[in-house]
Amino acid sequence: MKILRNVEKVPALRYIFKLFKMPVNIQSIYEKVDNLARLHEKVDNLHFLLTELISVYNRSNVIYVDDNMLIKRIRDYFFCIPLEDYKLLLHLLYGNPEPGLDMFIIKNLKNGAFFVDIGAHIGIVTLRAASIVGLKGKVYAFEPTPRVNKILQHNIYINNYTDIVEVFPLAISNKKGKTKLYQYNIYGHNTLFSYSNGDDYVEVEVDTLDNVLCDVNKIDMIKIDAEGAEPFVLQGMREIIKKNPEMTIIMEFGPGHFLRNGIDPLNFLNSLINDGFNIRLIKEPSGEVVETSVNYLLNAFSENIIIFKGERVYA
């Protein structure tokens, strides 16, 4: 603006203004520029207010089923959400849980595929997989917590995926029978291994994936989120791994969970490598598949990894 105000004192600038038949009334030009700047500021403020209004609308556009549950459209689906799980509620209403995992599945799962979701929770991954595999494929969802299993079934029903998804009220491990499932205020922390003595628990059925899906001839992708029981899940699906050499396994790798369950994370990683598995990391939030290292994983809090055999190219 200083140059504009002093233009009449600069012959070269006066010549440019005359050449392009521009008025030499610098004060008028300055005022117009100033008005444009103010208009731009108003547009920015309006954009901010509009963004806030949309955000408030999205957060408030919910249906309360009763005192214990609400329904909200999130991503591309309707979800029943238990009000007592405050962390889940905050994640779904105000955030985007594990967008990288979601993007990986979108890019790499195909129509007609067979998908297994171990630790399906309320169906965030289950519904995404069902929408992709379609009626030519199948999704097998396992959720042992009784309350959460019912919500999972509600979510499958209201999104019209009952013909695609089969739900099992089972914990998956390396044995068949009954076991204690320890329950917490945050349902995603429910586990076969307690955090401390005296934790509340419910008795549930447990089985191996080899037993439950013995008649399924093809599985393309499995997601395992079992709060540290992942090594036991793998032990109970050795036949499925043999029958499906092209299968991709998505797995949560949380060293703290493993240690709590009496599993050495380094020994577990070495066993995967010795069994011929390649290990890659799913980056958040992009969903990109990248190389990783034993040292990185051992020092991570929790990461989603994929394990697979042979050569593979992921999108």
| Span 287-301, pLDDT tens digits | 999 999 999 999 999
Residue type, 269: L
The pLDDT, as a whole number, for residue 2 is: 44
Distance CA 21, CA 29 (A): 14
Do residues 115 and 250 share a domain? Answer: yes
Do residues 181 and 227 share a domain? Answer: yes
The pLDDT, as a whole number, for residue 61 is: 74
Contact between 230 and 277 (Cβ < 8 Å): no
How does the average pLDDT of the chain come out, rounded? 87
Residue 234 belongs to some domain of the structure: yes
CA–chain centroid gap for 57, Å, is 23
Residue 64 belongs to some domain of the structure: no
The pLDDT, as a whole number, for residue 274 is: 97
Do residues 17 and 112 share a domain? Answer: no
Do residues 99 and 55 share a domain? Answer: no
Per-residue pLDDT reduced to its tens digit, 3-58: 444 544 455 555 555 555 555 555 565 566 566 667 766 666 666 666 655 555 55
For 112, the domain range is 94-308
Phi, psi of 263 (to 5 degrees): -110, 130
Handedness of CA 127, 133, 136, 141 (dihedral sign): negative
* Domains contained in the chain, number: 2
Distance CA 118, CA 85 (A): 20
Answer left, alpha or beta for residue 28, where phi above 0 means left and psi between -120 and 50 means alpha: alpha
**Residue 263 contacts by C-beta under 8 Å, 6 or more apart in sequence?**
228, 231
pLDDT at 215 over 70: yes
Do residues 138 and 283 share a domain? Answer: yes
Phi, psi of 12 (to 5 degrees): -60, -40
Contact between 141 and 114 (Cβ < 8 Å): no
Distance CA 252, CA 223 (A): 8
Of 12, 38, 59, at which residue does a domain stop?
Answer: 59
Residue 126 belongs to some domain of the structure: yes
Per-residue pLDDT reduced to its tens digit, 104-162: 999 999 999 999 999 999 999 999 999 999 999 999 999 999 999 999 999 999 999 99
What is the mean pLDDT of the segment spanning 82-104?
88
Per-residue pLDDT reduced to its tens digit, 218-249: 999 999 999 999 999 999 999 999 999 999 99
Do residues 257 and 151 share a domain? Answer: yes
Residue 313 belongs to some domain of the structure: no
Fill in the DSSP letter of residue 313: -
In the beta sheet, which residues pair with residue 222? 116, 249
Do residues 150 and 227 share a domain? Answer: yes
Do residues 133 and 236 share a domain? Answer: yes
